[in-house]
Amino acid sequence: MLPLKANDFIGNYRIIEKIGEGGMALIYKAHQPALKRNVVIKKLKDPNREIINRFKKEALISASMHQENLAAIYDFIYAQRSYFLVMEYIDGEDLRTLTDYLAPLSPMQAAIIIMDIARGLEHIHARGIIHRDIKPSNIIISRDGEVKLIDFGVAKDKISTRLTMTGMIVGTPAYMSPEQANGDNLTTQSDLFSLGILFYELLTGVKPFYGVKNTDVLARIVRAEYIPAEVINPQIPRRLRHILKKTLQRSTGRRYQSATELIFDLERAVPLRFRVRKKELLTRLMNRLDKNGQPPPDSSVHISAFNNDRYKYWNWLNVLIVAGGIYAALFLGRQFATTQTGYVGLRQVLPGSEIRSGRQTIRAAHNRLITAGPFLQGSRAVTITYPGQSMIHLAQVQVAARDTVFINAPPLLPGRMSQVRFETKPAQAEIWLDKQKIGLSPVDEFYLQPGMHRLMFRKNGFRDFVLPELEVGQQPVSIRAELVPSETKTD
């Protein structure tokens, strides 16, 4: 079955170009001359019976619904021995792209997007339909500021329950609900949990549930084990924190009972002046998107504690060996993740820079706040490699549990950065430079802008060592300080 080419016709629709490909269909942009409008045509890839039934189901479900936050279905065609679904063309970008390039979004923009998705879910839930695959790539934001929910290929209604075998897990692992991860029966609340995961990602720029393998991700979803969003982004308003926490409740009894209830809380949390300017705010967000700049970071390389070696011992399958150890392992694992880890926030990072910490790497796609972590609390080395430049060391940072330590990345000023070395006796003294803690001594390589700076070394049991006027020029500088005990003996 050959793919379609430009100017091919399917019924009354002329193919313009291929714009995407999913697991079930090829996606084309086409033109309908009779109505002078562009459309999207999805062409079924695999003609087996189950896939055909699912494709037909998507057409029937979508065509039966008419709501501003749901993509409209125009036609369902069988031609050239294949099936085609004709739907509304939305001139915009999916939320996956926006998240990769622009997250974290402002709390109000994120809340407005989630509110519109919830309105679409409210409409389909009222008709007994569960979407089952809420994720960024299934949300489109138009350049006019409209939010559209698409792709009902795995949706479930009251009639078509036989299309999925009992116990089969359907959906995208990182955005599943606990009951979905367990293969249990789903309710409309399952979509709301997935929407909460999406809300978390918009507010923080990272997914709440990470793992090396899908089984790791699903295990943490089942335990609802995640770092509170406000630890990563302290700017989240209190009301939105409460809403996010409620959407991500492990128990359906404590979760939002309906999309209507969620919408009500969001409307109370988002001031009217933002809600009436919804399209303006989202249009402004779309105008900020620049895909011609640096490529977005791969979501798999966001620095995550679940990639650390210490988590290899937390394989949830292994704890099944001893029944009595299951509860203890789950409880201690959750306590460990929430009380022993923190984050590092980096400001003013040059786009294209590579940020490293140990074996973990993240590439900066923008110069706004970038959050790395979670990390085990304690001292941690973080380095930045600028595009085409040598490595810039940011010394050691002191990660605190349940908190975020912020760092201003050194500016890239060719020919104007001086290398500085810090050493103290005894070692492991705090280094404060221009009233900002930069790490613990010794530090072999730190790049600093020439000029006058204020330096202080501080360590418990010793007097502070202060240099109120440290002059740094173009040449490398080595600073060594011998700290004096705070209580010295006299003869």
- Same-domain status, 424 and 401: no
**pLDDT tens over the chain, length 491 residues:** 567 889 999 999 999 999 888 777 889 999 999 999 999 998 888 767 777 777 777 777 777 778 999 988 888 888 888 889 899 999 999 999 999 888 899 999 999 999 999 999 999 999 888 888 899 999 999 999 999 998 775 555 544 444 343 344 556 788 999 998 888 888 999 999 999 999 999 999 889 998 778 888 888 999 888 989 998 888 999 999 999 999 999 999 999 999 999 999 999 999 999 999 999 999 999 988 876 655 444 433 333 333 333 333 434 445 445 445 555 545 545 554 555 677 777 777 777 777 777 666 777 766 667 777 777 777 677 777 766 555 565 556 777 776 777 777 766 555 556 778 889 999 889 888 877 677 788 877 677 767 788 889 999 999 999 988 888 777 788 889 999 998 755 44
How far is 26 from 44, CA to CA, in rounded Å?
Answer: 7
Residue by residue, what is the 3-state secondary structure of 334-382?
HHHHHHCEEEEEEECCCCCCEEEECCEEEECCCCCCEEEEEEECEEEEE
Residue partners of 296: CB distance under 8 A and separation at least 6: 97, 100, 101, 365
Q: What is the CATH number of the domain that holds 490?
A: 2.60.40.1120
61-74 burial by CB neighbour count: b if 16+ within 10 A, else e? Answer: bbeebebebbbbbb
**What is the rounded distance in angstroms from the CA atom of residue 134 to the CA atom of residue 94?**
12
Residue 297 per-residue DSSP state: P
Backbone phi, psi, residue 371, to 5°: -105, 130
Identify whether residues 104 and 80 lie together within a single domain.
no
Is residue 422 located within the same domain as residue 479?
yes
Handedness of CA 122, 123, 128, 134 (dihedral sign): negative
Same domain, 110 and 251: yes
Q: Which of 65, 55, 54 is nearest to 27 (CA)?
A: 55
The question of whether 403 is a catalytic residue gets the answer: no
Is residue 189 domain-shared with residue 260, that is, in the same domain? yes
Domain CATH number, residue 64 = 3.30.200.20
- Which of 70, 88, 106 is the endpoint of a domain? 88
242 within domain boundaries: yes
Tell me, yes or no, whether 367 and 473 share the same domain: no
Enumerate residues 6+ apart whose C-beta is below 8 A from 419. 445, 446, 447, 448, 476, 477
- Is residue 252 located within the same domain as residue 123? yes
Provide the residue range defining the domain that includes 374.
301-412
> Is residue 3 assigned to a domain?
no
Backbone torsions φ then ψ of 196, nearest 5 degrees: -65, -40
Task: Calculate the CA dihedral of residues 397, 399, 404, 410 and round it to 10 degrees.
Answer: 10
Classify residue 438: in a domain, yes or no.
yes
* Segment holding 489, helix H or strand E: none
Q: Give the whole-angstrom CA distance, residue 380 versus residue 374.
A: 12
* Catalytic entry in 133, 151, 191, 265: 133
Does one domain contain both 169 and 314? no
Number of domains in the chain: 4
SS3 category, 327: helix
Would you tell me how many other CB atoms lie within 10 Å of the CB of residue 286? 17
228 and 161 within one domain? yes
Which of 60, 88, 116 represents a domain boundary (last residue)? 88
| Residues 317 and 273 grouped into a single domain | no
Please state whether the predicted TM-score (pTM) of the whole model is above 0.75: no
Instruction: Assess whether 149 and 161 both reside in one domain.
Output: yes
Let me know whether 161 and 217 are in one domain. yes
The CATH code of the domain that includes 146 is 1.10.510.10
